[in-house]
């Protein structure tokens, strides 16, 4: 039987696997340790369910019957033929836009809502730039729990539509994500709310590392030179690193790809810190970018994301809104994958790092595309002008001819 414990990331103090998230001794974050040797091997994986739950032994859930799963994970890893040729690299796209609520957040929220069921909760809550909120709302609906989501008020209307449809109660905060996050942290202390990405964060973050496991399997255990990951709180990048490290410790892979963190120029506190090779992250008070999902000015896991990048000899880079829009269009028109800006920022940053000479021509690169363009439609709709015709062939021919000629 799997046994879980929590361990401090900084001072290595041990704790029972309860609803705690910071070390009493040094206030650093806690992380899950698995006592049982896992039975995951290349052979045992072959016959398993094609979802993130194929890695059950390495996920922080004890009772398989309690899993709340909408079919998340084992998303396609696609070779980008046209973009590879255009960019001069061997590019693969980890397409997490096709998860049940259209973003990678289904991975951590499937774990978090399962954990809420294990803890016997009736309610779940999260603080979110939109994607986590939609995902927690969907998983809570599936599990029969009440969901409360706290978001900044300026998130995309498509994300509100999802959350409303799943029946969650929405609390919007007049301020930034970081204002909402501070408020949520206080609510968790004063009102005892289970805010999954705060109070059960050690468990929640574990879901995201399944992206790394899947990349190992889907690349047939021959890992790419680089993996490019969008960064907001930094948790996703750190979790992906942890996933690769766990598979390396098990002897399943020999080395870990160099990790690249991608941010938007209007909110790039991690890029700024990394350029100074510093763990002192200066918060961005007022983020300003179209990549709203990654507009987090004060990243909770920032230090750990930078550490992961340094350990793998990677780097961090930013892209402007204009570069992100271009990358979104490029990805959609060349490869048929429509991403939201927080997803296509990895393409924009990859392009930039090739131009800067950091990514050498001929390298193999996996870009994580983490959110779907249907969640941020304004970006492509705002200057939409179709060829308008009357429902008659004469009008059709006239317009077509005038446009073509
Ligand atoms: C689509 C998308 N990609 C990437 C991220 C970054 O995740 P993290 O906060 O773990 O760095 C987010 C965060 O909300 C997101 O919504
Ligand atoms: Zn500690």
Ligand 1 within 6 A of CB of 234: yes
pTM, to two decimals: 0.97
3-state secondary structure of 281: coil
User: Cα dihedral sign for 169, 173, 177, 178?
Assistant: negative
The pLDDT of residue 383 = 80
| Ligand 1 probe mutation, 238, 293, 298, most atoms within 8 A of CB | 293
Taking alpha carbons only, the member of 45, 113, 364, 322 closest to residue 226 is 364
Q: Who's near 325: CB < 8 A, 6+ residues apart?
A: 290, 341, 379
| Position in ligand 1 atom list of the atom nearest CA 208 | 10
Q: Which tokens belong to 9?
A: 């990331």
Helix H, strand E, coil C: the string for 52-101 is: HHHHHHHCCCCCHHHCCCCCCCCCCEEECHHHHHHHCCEEEEEEHHHCCC
Give the number of the ligand closest to the Cα of residue 369.
1
DSSP summary character for residue 104: T
Taking alpha carbons only, the member of 315, 318, 304 closest to residue 245 is 304
Taking alpha carbons only, the member of 204, 197, 214 closest to residue 95 is 214
Ligand 1 within 6 A of CB of 228: no
Cα angle at 198 between 265 and 190, to 5 degrees? 120
Ligand 1 within 6 A of CB of 342: yes
Q: How far is the CA of 83 from the centre of ligand 1 (A)?
A: 23
Ligand 1 within 6 A of CB of 151: no
Q: How far is the CA of 236 from the centre of ligand 1 (A)?
A: 7
Q: How far is the CA of 277 from the centre of ligand 2 (A)?
A: 24
The pLDDT of residue 382 = 85
Q: How far is the CA of 232 from the centre of ligand 1 (A)?
A: 5
Q: How far is the CA of 25 from the centre of ligand 2 (A)?
A: 5
pLDDT per position in the chain (405 positions), as tens?
788 999 999 999 999 999 999 999 999 999 999 987 778 999 999 999 999 999 999 999 999 999 999 999 999 999 999 999 999 999 999 999 999 999 999 999 999 999 999 999 999 999 999 999 999 999 999 999 999 999 999 999 999 999 999 999 999 999 999 999 999 999 999 999 999 999 999 999 999 999 999 999 999 999 999 999 999 999 999 999 999 999 999 999 999 999 999 999 999 999 999 999 999 999 999 999 999 999 999 999 999 999 999 999 999 999 999 999 999 999 999 999 999 999 999 999 999 999 999 999 999 999 999 999 999 999 999 888 899 999 999 999 999 998 765
| Position in ligand 1 atom list of the atom nearest CA 235 | 10
């Amino acid at each position: 039987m799997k046994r879980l414990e929590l361990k401090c990331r900084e001072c290595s103090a041990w704790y029972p696997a309860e609803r705690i998230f910071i070390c009493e001794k040094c206030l650093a974050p806690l992380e899950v340790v698995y006592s049982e040797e896992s039975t995951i091997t290349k052979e045992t994986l072959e016959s398993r369910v094609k979802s993130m739950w194929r890695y059950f032994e390495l996920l922080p859930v004890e009772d398989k019957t309690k899993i709340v799963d909408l079919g998340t994970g084992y998303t396609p890893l696609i070779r980008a033929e046209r973009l590879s040729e255009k960019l001069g690299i061997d590019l693969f796209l980890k397409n997490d836009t096709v998860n049940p609520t259209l973003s990678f957040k289904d991975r951590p929220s499937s774990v978090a809502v399962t954990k809420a069921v294990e803890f016997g909760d009736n309610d779940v809550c999260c603080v979110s730039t939109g994607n986590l909120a939609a995902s927690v709302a969907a998983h809570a609906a599936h599990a029969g729990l009440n969901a409360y989501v706290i978001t900044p008020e300026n998130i995309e209307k498509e994300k509100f539509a999802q959350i409303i449809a799943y029946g969650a109660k929405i609390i919007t905060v007049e301020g930034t994500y970081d204002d909402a996050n501070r408020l949520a942290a206080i609510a968790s202390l004063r009102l005892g709310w289970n805010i999954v990405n705060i109070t059960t964060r050690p468990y929640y973050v574990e879901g995201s590392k399944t992206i790394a496991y899947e990349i190992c399997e889907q690349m047939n255990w021959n890992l790419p030179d680089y993996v490019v990951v969008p960064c907001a709180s930094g948790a996703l990048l750190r979790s992906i690193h942890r996933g690769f490290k766990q598979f390396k410790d098990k002897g399943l892979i020999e080395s870990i790809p160099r990790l690249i963190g991608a941010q938007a120029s209007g909110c790039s506190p991690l890029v700024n810190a990394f350029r100074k090779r510093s763990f002192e992250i200066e918060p961005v008070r007022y983020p300003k970018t179209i990549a709203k999902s990654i507009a987090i000015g004060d990243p909770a896991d920032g230090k750990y994301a930078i550490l992961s990048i340094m350990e793998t000899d990677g780097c961090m880079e930013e892209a402007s809104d204009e570069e992100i829009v271009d990358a979104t269009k490029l990805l959609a028109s060349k490869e048929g994958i429509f991403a939201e800006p927080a997803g296509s920022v990895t393409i924009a940053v990859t392009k930039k790092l090739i131009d800067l000479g950091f990514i050498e021509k001929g390298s193999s690169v996996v870009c994580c595309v983490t959110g779907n363009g249907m969640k941020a439609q304004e970006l492509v709709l705002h200057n939409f002008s179709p060829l308008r015709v009357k429902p008659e062939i004469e009008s059709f021919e006239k317009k077509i001819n005038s446009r073509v000629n």
